[in-house]
């Protein structure tokens, strides 16, 4: 039964794969036997160097995926090199927040382009490759913020972007089911990453976040990575269109 979690012979592309949840997922997939392609902006590669010494089959491709052309070029590069693409993890994202009256047009566009459009463009590019291979798995990294409006921070753009990712996940799952391409999402709560750590140590936000989380602790990146591994593997072969919430119980309140 545990063999169903293995990814031997599978080719996986992880966007935002050099930090936080993406890097933890890369380690999990490497341990499970996948051939890894990690993409991120060039300046984010410093944190990922150690994975090269872990004995995994990993290739780095720097890319800024906010355009259709860039996403298509990345997927084509992976497919040309590996001859296939079995798994796509859409993890790249940003978490800009701020009071709505002061939020600029550029801030809004940056959040939507990174968190929503990148997911669509990469998925769109991957679908023909997966169809040619006869199957595939796409896992999108959403957020509990796409389910509830968490407090005390104001982050309308981020919350809206993650809700869009969840609906995109369900819509793609329905569209691609007969192609044997499963599409799911994981919705993390407060996870101890560079993106969230500022809020965790904030004298106001941090205590509120902990108080509203029934497990009374923040999550670890590896706790999201194992959920992504489940959704990407044959262990979830009859699961599609699901939003798997991993939030220490935050959304139960």
Which residue ranges make up each domain of the chain?
2-194+221-241
Q: What is the pLDDT of residue 53?
A: 74
CA-to-CA separations, 159 to 93, 153, 163, 187, in angstroms, rounded: 12, 11, 6, 12
- Interhelix angle 118-133/156-176, rounded to 10 degrees, is 20
What DSSP state is assigned to residue 153?
S
Q: What is the pLDDT of residue 131?
A: 99
Q: What is the pLDDT of residue 225?
A: 99
Among 170, 82, 157, 80, smallest CA distance to 123 is for 170
The CATH class for the domain spanning 2-194+221-241 reads alpha beta
Whole-number Å distance between alpha carbons of 63 and 38: 10
pLDDT digits (tens, 9 = 90+) for 15-54: 999 999 999 999 999 999 999 999 988 656 666 677 877 8
Whole-number Å distance between alpha carbons of 147 and 189: 11
Q: What is the pLDDT of residue 52?
A: 75
β-strand partners of 142:
none
Among 77, 57, 56, smallest CA distance to 65 is for 77
Whole-number Å distance between alpha carbons of 115 and 95: 9
Q: Which residues of the chain have pLDDT under 70?
A: 42-48
Q: List the catalytic residues.
A: 158
Q: What is the pLDDT of residue 45?
A: 61
């Amino acid at each position: 039964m545990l063999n169903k979690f293995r990814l031997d012979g599978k080719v996986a592309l992880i966007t935002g794969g050099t930090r936080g949840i993406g890097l933890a997922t890369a380690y999990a997939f490497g341990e499970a036997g996948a051939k890894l392609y990690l993409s991120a902006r060039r300046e984010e590669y410093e944190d990922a160097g150690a994975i090269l010494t872990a004995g995994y089959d990993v290739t780095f491709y720097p890319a800024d995926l906010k355009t259709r052309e860039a996403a298509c070029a990345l997927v084509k590069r992976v497919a040309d090199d590996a001859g296939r693409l079995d798994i796509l993890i859409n993890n790249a994202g940003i978490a800009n927040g701020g009071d709505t009256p002061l939020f600029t047009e550029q801030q809004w566009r940056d959040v939507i382009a990174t968190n929503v459009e990148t997911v669509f463009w990469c998925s769109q590019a991957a679908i023909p490759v997966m169809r040619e291979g006869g199957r595939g798995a796409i896992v999108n990294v959403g957020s509990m913020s796409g389910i509830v409006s968490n407090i005390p921070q104001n982050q309308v753009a981020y919350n809206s972007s993650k809700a869009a990712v969840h609906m995109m996940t369900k819509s793609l799952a329905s569209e691609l089911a007969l192609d044997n391409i499963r599409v799911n999402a994981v919705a993390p709560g407060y996870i101890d990453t560079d993106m969230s750590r500022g809020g965790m140590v904030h004298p106001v936000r941090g205590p509120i976040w902990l108080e509203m989380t029934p497990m009374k602790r923040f999550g670890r990146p590896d706790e999201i990575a194992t959920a992504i591994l489940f959704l990407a593997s044959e262990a979830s072969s009859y699961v599609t269109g699901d939003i798997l919430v991993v939030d220490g119980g935050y959304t139960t309140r």
